[in-house]
């Protein structure tokens, strides 16, 4: 199968397309709706770092899209379309097929159109998924809006296992629009992502209670990555969406400083650029 | 240097930003202008395939962006912003710095804002650059608009060396807007890219004359990749922009069929999914 045939196969399965022009030209053409802001995020999935070859290709494809969709959820956006860049070793046509089967299953479920991408060869499997989402002008949730006095919540229990399916919290993110002062998705662990939110907002936080997922540990709930729940703050009288779990509050203090059980909680989550712990 | 510090360094150099929100949140926020279509393209640059480690990092960064900008040029678009996904081995902070120096130099020259991206570790260097461009509604050039009777042009001589700098033909693409019936950029060689244009348009082509770059060969001009000139068609009375070189015409016939010197010219350019020639 050559590149033209392969792209034709993927195009046939990309489904009904709300774009002016989808797969098959130098660029995809998208016509924005009036009054909408567009949200853009991109996430890499690297063999040996984010998955092993033994993981099914469909699972890898689904997770690759899910990670970017989680960023759209964290901004309170609705996904519109994605671009998928994929590099694989030679003779991986079947793997590619399965990868797109998994990715397109989640794309359909979430209303994301596959608008285009790029195929290349590489020794190890590598992919990068860009997602464009949309939100009414000025309503996107940001991580820099937390204020002292805000209550701090998560959208579900923390410390889940790394290899369970990622369910991007898109509906939850929509429910937070117009309510939350700030939001971030928990991709790298509570301690690190809360640190990022507090730094961006110029505030500190006090943790009161950590809801640990069944079968997990407090340590994993505090510092483990890949939860993909939303972490958000509401003003004092704000009403949290159903399913929200209160974990603490935002206070004045050194930006990024987090208190937990009368001590400082250092940001120890997954930093993609720190050497692995020895 | 950890991820937060590294992103802060890149952000400081990303320059003035026309975005609502740039680097540093879960998504970048872009507010589209009324009456514009948006163009999206993504291109991978893989170590060992598109470059060797010995190539300077700044050159790799500049070329990675240039390849995507060439796709924007081929649609007659103006670049707006880019997302850059980059995976490198550990201890490559200096390489990353140089990579972004080269990329941002071209970004500034071309009016492209660095809106965000993703950093990860990998054994080999890998990057993926997504560019968003814009064109007034309905004016983007496509590869499916060539008609029998059109004259066929390129924007410059062909067969240039693979390691010379890529100069995306953005101004040339703008000059083609409202004039050209179809356009594609020559990234994989004339024979393959012309085949793609003819297939998309449902037409055939006859080549008359191939303008070979100084020091190159006819073989390389016909089948070599990485020229990054524009290949386009104009209606019979259309006036080509200054610098255009006529190479043939579009005719009725089997879609994708190309005649050259009374023979069929097979598409033999660089197919990213064919095994390398033995």
Question: Is A88 within 8 Å of A96 (Cβ atoms)?
Answer: yes
**Residue of chain B nearest A185, judged by CA positions:** B26
Of A1, A26, A142, the CB nearest to B74: A26
Residue A74 touches partner B, C-beta closer than 8 Å: yes
* Domain at A3-136, CATH from 2.40.30.10, 3.30.1330.10, 1.10.1060.10, 3.30.420.10: 3.30.1330.10
Task: Name chain A contacts of B40, Cβ cutoff 8 Å.
Answer: 27-30, 81, 83, 115-116, 130, 132
How confident is the model over A3-8, as a mean pLDDT? 73
Q: Give ipTM to 2 decimals.
A: 0.89
pLDDT tens-digit map of B219-252: 999 998 888 999 999 999 999 999 999 999 999 9
Task: Name chain B contacts of A43, Cβ cutoff 8 Å.
Answer: 85, 118
Could B87 and A46 be called an inter-chain contact, meaning their C-beta atoms sit closer than 8 Å? yes
Domain with CATH 3.30.1330.10 in chain B: 3-136
Residue B20 touches partner A, C-beta closer than 8 Å: yes
Task: Name chain B contacts of A122, Cβ cutoff 8 Å.
Answer: 46, 48-49, 124, 126
Of B26, B34, B44, the CB nearest to A74: B26
Question: Is B201 within 8 Å of B182 (Cβ atoms)?
Answer: yes
CB neighbour class for B190 (10 Å; exposed up to 12, middle 13-18, buried from 19): buried
Check residues B222 and B1 and name the one with the higher pLDDT: B222
d(CA B239, CA B233): 11
Residue A30 touches partner B, C-beta closer than 8 Å: yes
CATH superfamily of A151-264: PurM-like C-terminal domain (3.90.650.10)
d(CA B169, CA B167): 6
The pLDDT value given to residue B272: 55
Could you tell me the maximum CA-CA distance found in chain B, to the nearest angstrom?
62
Domain with CATH 3.90.650.10 in chain A: 151-264
Count of CB atoms situated within 10 Å of the CB of B262: 6
The pLDDT value given to residue A16: 47
pLDDT tens-digit map of B74-118: 999 999 999 999 999 998 999 999 999 999 999 999 999 999 999
Does residue A105 carry a pLDDT above 90? Answer: yes
CA angle B75, B66, A127 (to 5 degrees): 90
Of A5, A19, A25, which to mutate for an interface test with B (greatest number of B Cβ within 10 Å)? A25
pTM of the full predicted structure?
Answer: 0.90
d(CA B113, CA A138): 20
How confident is the model over A222-232, as a mean pLDDT? 91
The pLDDT value given to residue A261: 94
If residue B38 lies in a helix (H) or strand (E), which one and from where to where?
A: strand B36-46
How confident is the model over A258-275, as a mean pLDDT? 77
pLDDT tens-digit map of B39-67: 999 999 999 888 888 889 999 999 999 99
The pLDDT value given to residue A278: 30
Of B22, B34, B39, B128, which to mutate for an interface test with A (greatest number of A Cβ within 10 Å)? B128
Question: Is B22 within 8 Å of B116 (Cβ atoms)?
Answer: yes
Residue A72 touches partner B, C-beta closer than 8 Å: yes
């Amino acid at each position: 199968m050559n590149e033209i045939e392969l792209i034709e196969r993927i195009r046939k399965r990309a489904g009904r397309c709300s774009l002016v022009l989808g797969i098959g030209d130098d660029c995809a053409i998208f016509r924005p709706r009036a009054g909408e802001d567009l949200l853009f995020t991109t996430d890499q999935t690297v063999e040996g770092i984010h998955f092993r070859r033994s993981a099914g290709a469909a699972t890898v494809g689904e997770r690759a899209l899910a990670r970017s969709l989680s960023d759209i959820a964290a901004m309170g956006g609705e996904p519109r379309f994605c671009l998928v860049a994929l590099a694989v070793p030679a003779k991986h046509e079947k793997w590619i097929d399965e990868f797109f089967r998994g990715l397109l299953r989640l794309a359909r479920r979430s209303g994301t159109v596959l608008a285009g991408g790029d195929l290349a060869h590489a020794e190890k499997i590598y992919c990068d998924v860009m997602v464009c989402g949309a939100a009414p002008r000025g309503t996107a949730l940001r991580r820099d809006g937390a204020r002292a006095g805000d209550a701090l919540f998560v959208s579900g229990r923390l410390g889940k296992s790394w290899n369970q399916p990622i369910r991007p919290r898109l509906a939850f993110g929509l429910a937070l629009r117009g309510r939350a002062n700030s939001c971030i998705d928990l991709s790298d662990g509570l301690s690190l992502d809360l640190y990022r939110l507090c730094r961006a907002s110029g505030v500190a936080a006090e943790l009161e209670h950590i809801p640990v997922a069944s079968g997990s540990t407090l340590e994993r709930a505090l510092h483990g990555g890949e939860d993909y729940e939303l972490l958000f703050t509401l003003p004092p009288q704000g009403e949290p969406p159903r399913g929200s779990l209160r974990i603490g509050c935002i206070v004045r203090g050194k930006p990024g400083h987090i208190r937990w059980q009368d001590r400082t909680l250092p940001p120890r989550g997954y930093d993609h650029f720190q050497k692995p712990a020895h």
